[in-house]
Structures are given as structure tokens and as C-alpha cells.
Structure 1
Amino acid sequence: MKTPLLIAAIFFSGLALAQEKKSDSVKTKNIEGVTLTKQVFKKQSDRFVYDVAASPVAKGNTTFDILKQTPLLSSTDDKTLKIAGKNNALIYINGRKTNMDAESLVQFLKNTPAENIQKIEVITVPGSEYQVESSDGIINIVLKKKMSDGLNGNMRMSNTQNKYNASSASFSVNYRKDKLGISANLNGGENIEPQSYILRNGTDKLKNESVGDIDDPNKNLGGYLNIDYQLTEKSNLALSWNSWANKSNNSTIDLFNTLTQPNKKGITETTHTWTKNRADGRNYNNSVNLNYEIKLDSLGSKFNANAAYLIYKRFQFAKNNTMLPDKMGGYSTPGQTITQETPQIINNFSGTIDYIQKFKNDFTLSLGGNFNKTKTNNDTKNFTYQFIDENGNEIKNPPGKPDFNHFIYDENIYGAYLTLEKKFSDKFSGKVGARYEITKSLGTADNPTNTIESQKYQRIERDYNNFLPYLSFNYAINDKNNISYSFSSRMRRPSFWELNPVRNYITEFNYTQNNPFVKASSTYNQELTYMYKNSYFLILNHSYFKDQITQVPLQGFIKSADGKIGTQNVLRYIRTNFGDKQEMSAMVGIQKSFFKQYLTLNFNAGVQHNINNGSLAEDPTSGDTFVDKDGKPLVYTNTVKSTSIVITSNNTIRLDKKKTWFLGVNYFFVDKQQIELGMLKNLMSLDLSIKKNWNDWTFALNVNDVLRTNIVEIEDYQPNGNYNYIRNDQYRRGMTLSITYNFGNQKVKKIRDIEGASDAIKSRTR
């Protein structure tokens, strides 16, 4: 059971001051007969470049470790990577998107030696040639090329202890012989994802509180197989397959509920119930991608084509029980039971083509297109059993009230792009481009219970076109100063689970509601960057979100479309388009090594200003409105502005001359800021690590959230008197011990990592 977190995304940015020593560490390297001055960190055209091969922290690290040391990147949970000011970081390898789901990708990054990496490119505002959503950024990992044939691999085992114990293991192998390259990975593990909640909502006269725990056991097994064959000196054919399976049985929600409100006589009464939920679920994700690439000339011109098929299956059965007090002082009397079957099956076929033509006058023309055809099948079945009537009398063997909904969603996306890039001189370069996307979708519902909701979304058609321009330029003022600017417009389409019109119950009167009427939102990003001596940088960013997709809390007494008003205060967290939002940030930072590379400092801090502008008066899935006890309409609004400080610091300290012992000290702080659900209180985390390299072995100990301060708290007060409070503790503090062994020829050339045609769709299954 993947329980929604009821929190919106946190966008990181920052402001900092640091001082530099006069002596800059500079390395020179001869590439194809041209002597270049190599800087560890620099700005190039539309991206930041971190030269891992010239960095002192690469040896003995995994790719995931080195990504956490890369400027502008951070990880707060050791699972996901964030780019400052961005929702997500999409991983590319050698310019192609990785064709893996999130869990497999993390295992891949944690089991790939950093010694194989030449450089890491961070693209904060991607160009038109990239298929990305909203304000997503890109991390492009460029692997070393001059490697010999042979076999190599590694094995990794780890054990983590927080509230519960978790273990994982993986095995990776790479083989290269003449024209054939093969890479494979198998990984798995067991863990229990714990959470504790405090949920409060109500008014000055009515108070509802739920306190308790959520435990989600998981067993995971996944892997991938990539085969690359060189057809001729100029052409390659590649086949990629990856798979991931998850089993989550006996997931539980255990919450004690306290309701305080006036009775019919106006006397304040307090009642208690106990919510005991249980769910069994399993997920399967399989995809295959066929790639063909041909080089057209010695300048780097090429043609690339992909065809992919993806199938995702999710099955879950949940039982929500509301238990009432019994005569013995316990809670054994059933009040209500809701059973849910919520399957989801996603089938997708995708294709992409890319043509890149390079000219001798430093001019590049890129054009291409993509096609995605997706069908989701959601056959949901709900039964509600009421064991107590309105007068408090027990109902024996109550009939289940059915609520069936078979929702099918068909979506076709056609896209084309054109990009022109020109290097006018050694100092000035520019890039201009655009994407044009056509989206056609149809959602249909077949519901035998014939409720008002099902009638409303029996047929939902979408047909819209989007023109998405892009512009960037880069100007090197001199050897020490560089300035660049980027503008990009993007769409953010709803994930498929957001469109599936089901409710996920937390308690009897507190649940999340998905919404088939959610439409795509638009994002406009601008970024101005100044860099000094390839070590210090200033980034100014502005993002405008139109019709943003988020989760909004509506609460009160339900007034249905027929005018009837319910007798119980209800809180619904509804996925919907919720007005517009602006984010402005200013960040300065430093990436530099000190004391003969014994200390590598990656520090940035800044200020972020959020402007929210949204309101919601009714549940868009049913037409229900929310009123107080006197029938006065209740509207949820968020027009609050907030300014907050953000600090991130990732530092590596080398403890010996032989570069075998390393100490890591990582810290982040996010000041309180207004998000869609209310005021998010400040967050911070201190993470420590110690690592030992011994021949082909690496031993590492990581302690995350040492001070146990990474706990989410959100509080909201509405002008109409409603309030809402959420405290969510995911037990971030924990200790992980890992052992990695590298075997074979460590110079084996990696096979081409192929961008899958279905990658843009895959991200929407999660």
C-alpha cells in the first residue's frame, strides 16, 4: 500500500557567501592533440559541467555517491536526487535517458563505479530536444570512452536500521567483445516503510484528531538487460529490457480518532473511534526498447530511432475498518467497513526519431518527433458495510452497499521539435528551439451503480495543442567571468494514478480523492546565471505555474447536488488544478577543493519567494460543496506569499594521504514556506558517512538525519475558520552499512545507454 503523503513538492534554491584562496587547482589534459585547461566545475552553453575525472573524490565512490557531491545536486533520503529549484532530476547517460524505473535506476547508480565517469552535466533548463515535464531538470552522466574489451562487475550488500531493519543486495556485470556489448543487473531487498501521523482538522467548535502509525512492508526484485551490437563502423542496434516487481502484503494503518463537537442539544461531547486498515498489493513494471543509431559524418551528425513497449500492472485489496468503543473499554465493535479492489493496468507503445546535423561553421540543426499511445484500465470495486444505524442501533449482517467504477483512459500524444544551435565565437554561443505537441485523450466510465459521480465522468474528452518555445545564450566575458540566460516552456501532464477516480481512505471521514478531470498544466521557466573562476556561481530563477496540479484539502459538511446536507464533518484531499503559482529564487554557491584537496566543499544557500493564488469551492469529481453547520458555504483559498531561506552543504574530507579513508558531512535546511496545503514548517537534516577503500573492496557506513529533524509539519488556517494540521514522520534517521566488491577488468567499455521511447510515459506511472 503506497499511502499518499499529503504534502506538496519542496523546491530547493539558495544564497551563500564564501572566500577563495588565490591558488586555483587547474589540470591540463591532451584531447585529440589539442591542449585544454581543465576545470573541475564550469559553465558551458546550456549546462553546468562537473569534471569527475579531475576531481579528488571520484576514486572508490559509486555513481550515486559522486552525484551527491556534484554542485547543484542533493539527496535528502538517499534515494532521490534534486536539482536546486527543480521538482525532479531526470537521469541521462551519454546524452540518452535511462530506460529504467525509479527503484532499478537507484540500484544502477549505487552499483556503478565512479571511476568509469568522465563528467557529469547538470541541465537546469532543458532544451526543446528533451522530452521533460514541467520544471524538471536533467543530469547527464558522460562515461569514459577509451576502455578495453573484457568482463567486469560488482556485488553490493547493504543493511539499514531505522525503526525497522532493511536489507538489499545487487549483482551487476558488463561484457564487451569486439562489436558486442552486454550489461545486466539483478537486485532485490526487503524493507518496512514506517510512518507516524498526527492529523487535526475542524473549526473552533468542532475538532477532529487522528494519531497513529502506518507500516508498509515491501519485497522488491528487479533488474535489466542491455544488448548493443555494432552493425557497421557507423551504425549500432541495441535492445534494452528492464523489469521491477514489488509485493506489499499486510500494510496497515492504525489511527486513534477523537471527535469533539456539540450534540443536538448544543452540549459539547467527545467520542472516540479506532481506524484499523489493512491492504495487500503487488506491482509489476516491464518495458522493452529497440534502438537504431547511425553516424552520418565525422562532425558528429547522426540519426536515431526508438520503438518501445511498456506494461504496468498494479493490484491492491484494502479493508478499512472503523471500530467503536465496547462495554469492556476496548474497541472491538465494528461501526463501518469499506472494502476496495483498486487494480490499474497501463499499456503503452512509443516511438521517437532524432536527426542531428552538424556543420563546419559550428552550427547544429536538430529535429525529431515522438509518438505515445497509452491505455489504462481501472476496474475499481467498493463495498460499504454499515453496522450501526443513525440511531446507534446495531445492524447484524448488513448488506454491502456497492460502488463499482470501470474507468478506461486512452491517450495519444504527437510531438515534434526543432532546435538551432550556433557558436558565434569562442566567447558567445546561442540556442533557440521549439516543441509542438498534440494531445488527444478520452476517459470513459462504465458504472452499474449509476451514481451522480459516474454520470458526470462517463465520457471525458481532451484535445489540445501546445507550442513550447525555448531560448538560451552563453557569454564568456573573460577567463574568469561567464554569464548565461535560459527560457523554457513546458507541460505537466497528470500521472495516470491521479486520473483514476478512486478514494484512498485514511479514516472513515478523511481520505484522498483522485480526479479524472485534471488537465495538463503549463510551466514557464527563466534562469540567469553568473559564474566566477569556475568555482563561484549566482543563479536567479523565476518559474510561473499555470493551472498547477496539486492536492487540495476541502472540509466541512457535505452538501450534495440534490441539496441534502450530511451530518458529519468530512475532510477530502482532492487532486485538482489549483490556480497559479510563482516561484522566485536567488542562489549563490561554491564548489572548490582546499588544503591540497583534503577538503572538497560543495555549498550553496539562498532565498526563495513563493506567490500562491488558488481557490476551490467544490469537489470537481462529484459536484459536492462544503458548508458549515449553519449551511454557509466553505471555500478553500491559498493566496499567501512567503519568503524562505534554503541552505545545502555537501562536503568530503580526505583523512589520509593514500586516499583510502573519507569522511562525508552533508547538511540541508529549508525555512518555513507556504505551499498548497498550508504553511510547511522548517526542515533540516545532518547526514554523516565514513568510507574505506581497500583494493577492490569498499566499506561504507552512513548515518542519516542524525538530529532527527527531517519531519514534515504543515499547518493551515482559513479565513472561514477551518484549520488543518499534518505531522508526518517517516523515520529518516537511520544507519546503513554497505559492502561493495568490484571484480574483473575495470576498464571494460560500457555499452551504449539508450534513451527509451517510453521514458516520458514511465515517469507518469509513479
Structure 2
Amino acid sequence: MKTPLLIAALFFTGFTFAQEKKSDSVKTKNIEGVTLTKQVFKKQSDRFVYDVAASPVAKGNTTFDILKQTPLLSSTDDKTLKIAGKNNALIYINGRKSNMDAESLVQFLKNTPAENIQKIEVITVPGSEFQVESSDGIINIVLKKKMSDGTSGNMRMSNSQYKFNSSQASFSVNYRKDKLGVNANLSGGENIEAQEFMLKNGDSGVRNESIGPVRDPNKNLGGYLNIDYQLNDNSNLALSWNTWANKSYGSTIELFNTLHLYNNDGSLNKTEYSLSKNLENARSYNNSVNLNYELKTDTLGSKLNVNAAYLNYKRFQNSANNTFLSDINQSNLGVIKNIMQETPQIINNFSGTADYIQKYKNDFTVSVGGNYNKTKTDNNTQYESIDYTTNPDFTESKPNHFVYDENIFGFYLTLEKKFSDKFSGKIGSRYEITKSIGTSDNALTPELQRIERNYNNVLPYLSLNYAINENHNISYAFSSRMRRPSFWELNPVKNIITQDNYTQNNPFVKASSTYNQELTYMFKSSYFVILNHSYFKDVITQIPLQREIVRNGVTYKQLAYIRTNFGDKQEMSAMLGINKSFFKQYLTTNFNIGVQHNVNNGTLNTDPTTGQIFDTYNNQSKSTSLVIQTNNTLRLDKNKSWFLGVNYFYVDQQQIELGLLKNLMSLDLSIKKVWNEWTFALNVTDVLRTNVVEIEDYQDNGNYNYVKNDQFRRGGTFSITYNFGNQKVKKVRDIESASDAIKSRTR
């Protein structure tokens, strides 16, 4: 559901963080590995390298499967990839960021044979030349070279059974002839995302409880087209277009609300019941075009790369929220309040990048470049409500047209030097200028009519790598980054959950700053220790605020989830891991165990958008958590045609911005059969049904808040993949879209 899904967006601040931690033990950083005559895992300067071509688990797998097998890389939902300690994992292909949207990218990875991959590079602390935010990491997939001309492709069909059944299909084709390469994909599917919520809040005098399901039906259709033409031996021109459409009509939230009122002595005074029903219709369209030119300037690898891109994103959404009087049997006894909302969003972005890399014979490299992004978002929100308990003949109308213009200029310089076979280093810095103006034609307060922001940031970077000998390697990296708010976070719209619960976005949210440090030690290409420290300033998150309100002479407890900058936090982790093959490569295992320490420091009692005063919310707490994750692949026969997968993660309870996130774990199983050009796979996730989110918080002032979210992660997926044509066809040169950083902020 696309409404701030019942707080779903909220604790995903924490839950995503938790998933980082689970995947923290698994993610991509790269370590070293399998005991073969050739190193499968190794450390190179500012990145970790996994040699897929030399791995015993590559055959018969897809690219997505191999990524999940890479140490410190994981997927807890079979849709997204996480890198240890990172907010997000950006996918690069042959050194260029993929310009596909998230859905298309997943299908691309799931339909690309692992045999086409040479290696996977994991950059946990990206250098100044990379446009990343916060503590994002990069996964660079390097495809094999020297492949012959011809046509190849694959078809994939899958069916999943979780709470509801879903299906998906895709078709991909690659063509290369001499200087021309074409790569295309078409995929689509439909599913119903199901969730169950239990929400509780209040104090000693008032207790609210809301329980009920969320049903979000989705139909998706999208694809991409990439054309690459080699102008001559030194230059290439490429054009990329990708599109994705989503239709989600009939999304529902149905909550049964119970209100308990207590006397001063603690005895129950009164109980009230109500029903909240929300019906939402939404559709979205995402189209982007990117033009790339690459020029090689010498034989050492020096080159110029220029990109220009245009992105158009449209989302149309309307919802009807009704509150009904009810009884203990959940009967509908008449409407109390009706709220109608339209919350559309249109984003137009033009962006460009230019990068030049100069290499010298003495192993010295200079990189310089810049980028420009111009974005305009248009949010014409309509809001109407009728309160049948006070004035059923009066319709309250609160329209608001919010327009946001943003211009970002970025420049960087990076110097890299290999001083010897053992020691190398890299130093650089980015300088970013951000200018933005947000205007509102019907603002709640005068301060919201025009919000202007101008700020500059210097973002330094340093990495050092020392190979003590062939068995021992140590490296250190430091970076500073910004995290800009998503465009939807800035739109000052209120989304109604129940009569007394809502979420509030905030146009005053400013960019947060992140400072990352990482120390890594590796032994014999199989064992590793990673120490990490991240400091976040002005954290962007959603905070639960409560206050007493009086309605018809009765005191209620209102709960609002406010989007804002909430203090600072620190994350510290120590991780020990192993990646190794046993029993003549019949068993390949990744095992990671670590400790995560969180320090939260934030306080809030005012909604920055409306100025309303709430009870003070404090989160000045610490927690230490255990994290375990293991991925195992067992080859069942000599012919390498049957494979069994056993994956498990455990995340101990930890303190996040919303309170105490209770422990999470999941056991996933898979079996795969490779038969000629066919691959049959069955994946079962969350076998023990233990991957359920629970957050609990107690405040010193007596306020209590509890969230339980069950996303029905236990289920299975059966897939059939058929590869056809010349499987040695060279893939089209994938180009980084200059608008990728902007697209990520639309989601």
C-alpha cells in the first residue's frame, strides 16, 4: 500500500536498519575465500573482489544467486540486496551504475547466468568519485569479455505462495554484431502484498489498541532497452531507456480500534470501540532516458565519460478513510468521520555527469569530475473531511499545492597511488552545493509558504591498504557523506491511519551527515575481521509523538508519527567471518558472527510542520546486539546438477529511533536442478515463521507505544528458467544514468 502504510514507513527506519544488521553479517564487503589454487576472495586497494569464474558455486546459478552467496552480502526478502553496515546497496555493472528501476534490476539479476560473470567487486566505503548518500555501498558486477557475436536470451516464469498467490514472467534478449549491441527486457506480474498490524499506545489513563490487516494488490509491467555502438577503437556511444508502471487499485487497511479509559486508582472506567477502514487507489509511472559517451585517451586506461539523463516520475493516489462506531463484536454502528485525500506527485529531473580519469605509468591515477541535478516536484494535495458527530453538513477542505525545486552541483578530485606491491592509498574529496526552494499556496503556517535552503558541503575520503604478506592483509577507510530526504518526505501531507493516529511529512527536513570508518583484517583469503564505526548527525526518521486531546468531553490519546531530523546516533560493530569450501567443494559456506552497538541521542516534543506541542519523546539509549548469519550451498551430485541451499540469520534485539526492536530470525531452504539449458528451483523462506517485526517503547513520562507488523514472509517460490542462443554473447555496456541518485529518492 502506498499510503505511509500504516507506519510501515516508520519502523522501516528501524527495520531496514535491522535488516542491515542481519545482512550486516552477510553482506558484500568481500572477504576472501575458498581454498583453491586460485584466490576466490581477495582485497584490492579500496574494494573486495570475489572471483566468480573460479568459484565452485557459480555453475547453474543466476547472478542474484551468486550475489547472495558472496560473503557479507544478503537478501532477506529475495528482492533487495544489503551490504554489511550500509543503508543501501547500489548495483554497478562493468563500473557503471545500472539505470534500471528496482523491479527491473532484480529481474535482470535473476535472469543473467552466473557463468557470464567474471567477478564481483564490493566497495563498502566508496571514494569521492562515486555519487552515493549516507553509508551506501556499491556492488560492481564485472561481465566476462571476449565473447562472440550472436543472439542469446532467457525466459523465466515463477509462481509464489505466501499469504496470497502471485506470479511473474520475464523475457530478456541480447544481440551483438560487430560494433552494435542491443539488450532488452520485458517483465510483468501481479501480487497481493499482505500485512497484519497490532498498534498500541497510551499511558496509565488512556490506552488505544488497533488491530487489523493490510491488503495491497499490485500489477506491474516494465522493461528496458539499451543500445551500445562502438564509434571507433577508442570511443563508444550508448542510449538507454527504461520504464516501469505499477497499478494498485483496491488497497485496504481495516483496523478494529479499542479505547480503554482508566480512573485515577487504575480501575477501568470506560471502553469504546470503532472501526477504521481505508480504501486506496494508486498508479505510478517511471520513465528515464540516458545518453552516454566514453572516450579512451591512452593505452593505460585513461578515459573521459559524459552522461546526460532525463527522468519523469508520476504517481496518482486517492484514498477514502472512514471511521465507524462499533461494539466488541466489530459491528458497524454508523459512520463517525469521513476523510477523502488525493496525494499525487510528479517529478521531473534533468541531470548530467562528466568524469575524467588520467592514469600514469608509475601506478598513479588522478580522477576529476562533476555532476549537476535539476529537479522539480509537484504535489497538489486535496483534503476533505466530514465529522458526523459535530457537524455532518459541513465539509472541511484543506487543499495544498506544494512545489519543490532543487539544484545540486557536485565536484570531486581523487588521487590514487600504488606505492609498492604491498602498500597503496587513495585520497579525495567531494564539494557539493545544494540550492532548493519549496513553495505552498495554502500552507498551514506562514513559515510553510516559502522554504529556501542553500548549503555547501565538503566531503573528504581516505583509504589505505597494506598486504603484510600473501596470508595477511589490513586496510582502513574513512568517508563522509550526506543523506538528502526523499521528495515524498518533504511534501507536508498528513496521512490518516485511524481517527486518532496519523503520519505527518515535513518540508523542513534537512540533509543529514554521515561519517564512516572501517578497519579490515584478512587471513589466508578465508577469514576476516571487520571493525566499523558510523556517526549520523541530524538523522532523518519518523518519531512517535503522543498528546491528550478532548473530543465530545472525553479525553483521548492521539498518536502522530512525525517525519523530522532527530538528533544523532552512532553504530559500532565488530564482525568475525569465514568463507570456505569443504569436502572437495561439495560444501561451500559463509559464516559470520558479530556484535552491534547502537547509541541513540534524540528528543522531540513539537511537530515542526504544524507547531503543535506533544508530550516529550526521548530516545537517549544504548543497546548491544548479537548478529549471526550463514549461507550454505551443498552440491548433491558429481555432475553439479543438484544443489541444496540452507540459509539462516539471527538479529538480537536492539534500540532504534522508535524504541526497542525485538529479535528477528529466519531459516530459508532451497533446492535447484540444472538440466541442459533449463533450471528448476524451489525456494522456501522463513520456514519457522520467526521473521516478524515488533517494536516496544516506554517513556519516563508514562507514555507507551507498541508496533507489531507481520508481513507473512513464510512461503515458497517455484521458478523455471530457459536460456537460449549463444551464451557467450557479450552483454551491452551498461551505463550509469545521471539521474539514478534522484530516482532513488522517489521511492
Bin of the TM-score, shorter chain as denominator length: over 0.9
Letter in 2 for 1:731: F
Matched, 1:167 2:167: yes
Contact 1:445 1:454 in 2 (8 A): no
- Secondary structure at the aligned position of 2:497 is classed as strand
Partner of 2:423: 428
* Equivalent of 1:521 in 496, 512, 516: 512
Q: What pairs up with 1:607-626 in 2 under 5 angstroms?
A: 607-626=595-614
Residue 387 of structure 1 and its aligned partner are, at CA, apart by: 1.0
Q: 1 CA distance for matches of 2:549 and 2:605?
A: 12
Partner of 1:237: 237
Partner of 2:585: 597
Residue 512 of structure 1 and its aligned partner are, at CA, apart by: 1.2
Partner of 2:560: 572
Letter in 2 for 1:417: Y
Letter in 2 for 1:610: N
**Distance verdict in 2 for CA 1:508–1:67, change over 3 Å:** same
Residue 60 of structure 1 and its aligned partner are, at CA, apart by: 1.0
Letter in 1 for 2:323: T
Partner of 1:12: 21
Q: 2 CA distance for matches of 1:516 and 1:48?
A: 39
Contact 1:203 1:721 in 2 (8 A): yes
Structure 2 length-normalised TM = 0.96
Residue 197 of structure 1 and its aligned partner are, at CA, apart by: 0.3
Q: 2 CA distance for matches of 1:694 and 1:103?
A: 27
Contact 2:592 2:628 in 1 (8 A): yes
Matched, 1:503 2:494: yes
**Distance verdict in 2 for CA 1:484–1:566, change over 3 Å:** farther
Deviations 1:408-467 (A, max 9, x none): 0000000000000000000000000000000000000001xx6xx242310001000000
- Secondary structure at the aligned position of 2:275 is classed as strand
Letter in 2 for 1:134: S
Unaligned runs of at least 5 residues, structure 1: 17-22, 28-37, 390-394, 560-564, 627-633
Higher mean displacement: 83-92 or 486-495: 83-92
Q: 2 CA distance for matches of 1:171 and 1:408?
A: 39
Partner of 2:346: 345
Residue 399 of structure 1 and its aligned partner are, at CA, apart by: 2.7
Matched, 1:437 2:432: yes
Q: 2 CA distance for matches of 1:506 and 1:325?
A: 17
Q: 2 CA distance for matches of 1:618 and 1:652?
A: 52
Identity, % of aligned pairs? Answer: 73
Q: 1 CA distance for matches of 2:740 and 2:338?
A: 39
Q: 2 CA distance for matches of 1:714 and 1:218?
A: 28
Q: 2 CA distance for matches of 1:671 and 1:59?
A: 35
Q: What pairs up with 1:554-573 in 2 under 5 angstroms?
A: 554-557=545-548, 567-573=555-561
Partner of 1:661: 642
Q: 2 CA distance for matches of 1:373 and 1:600?
A: 47
Partner of 1:419: 414
Unaligned runs of at least 5 residues, structure 2: 27-32
* Equivalent of 1:581 in 569, 572, 579: 569
Q: 1 CA distance for matches of 2:283 and 2:45?
A: 45
* Equivalent of 1:744 in 704, 714, 725: 725
Contact 1:122 1:140 in 2 (8 A): yes
Partner of 2:631: 650
Residue 511 of structure 1 and its aligned partner are, at CA, apart by: 1.3
Contact 2:121 2:139 in 1 (8 A): yes
Paired positions, count: 730
Letter in 2 for 1:157: M
- Secondary structure at the aligned position of 1:337 is classed as strand
Deviations 1:562-602 (A, max 9, x none): xxx99532101111000000000000101111110000011
Contact 2:25 2:84 in 1 (8 A): no
Residue 43 of structure 1 and its aligned partner are, at CA, apart by: 1.0
Letter in 2 for 1:613: N
Partner of 2:78: 78
**Distance verdict in 2 for CA 1:737–1:98, change over 3 Å:** same
- Secondary structure at the aligned position of 1:640 is classed as strand
Contact 1:485 1:527 in 2 (8 A): yes
Q: 1 CA distance for matches of 2:409 and 2:124?
A: 25
Residue 524 of structure 1 and its aligned partner are, at CA, apart by: 0.1
Contact 2:34 2:525 in 1 (8 A): no
Q: What pairs up with 1:530-549 in 2 under 5 angstroms?
A: 530-549=521-540
Partner of 2:453: 462
Partner of 1:35: none
- Secondary structure at the aligned position of 1:242 is classed as strand
Q: 2 CA distance for matches of 1:248 and 1:376?
A: 22
Partner of 2:30: none
Q: 1 CA distance for matches of 2:641 and 2:330?
A: 61
**Distance verdict in 2 for CA 1:257–1:328, change over 3 Å:** closer
Partner of 1:711: 692
**Distance verdict in 2 for CA 1:85–1:15, change over 3 Å:** closer
Letter in 2 for 1:602: N
Partner of 2:304: 303
**Distance verdict in 2 for CA 1:475–1:326, change over 3 Å:** closer
Q: 1 CA distance for matches of 2:109 and 2:495?
A: 33
Q: 2 CA distance for matches of 1:602 and 1:264?
A: 57
Q: 1 CA distance for matches of 2:146 and 2:268?
A: 81
Q: 1 CA distance for matches of 2:239 and 2:268?
A: 71
Residue 100 of structure 1 and its aligned partner are, at CA, apart by: 1.2
Q: 2 CA distance for matches of 1:91 and 1:332?
A: 52
Deviations 1:692-735 (A, max 9, x none): 00000000000000000000000000011001000000000011
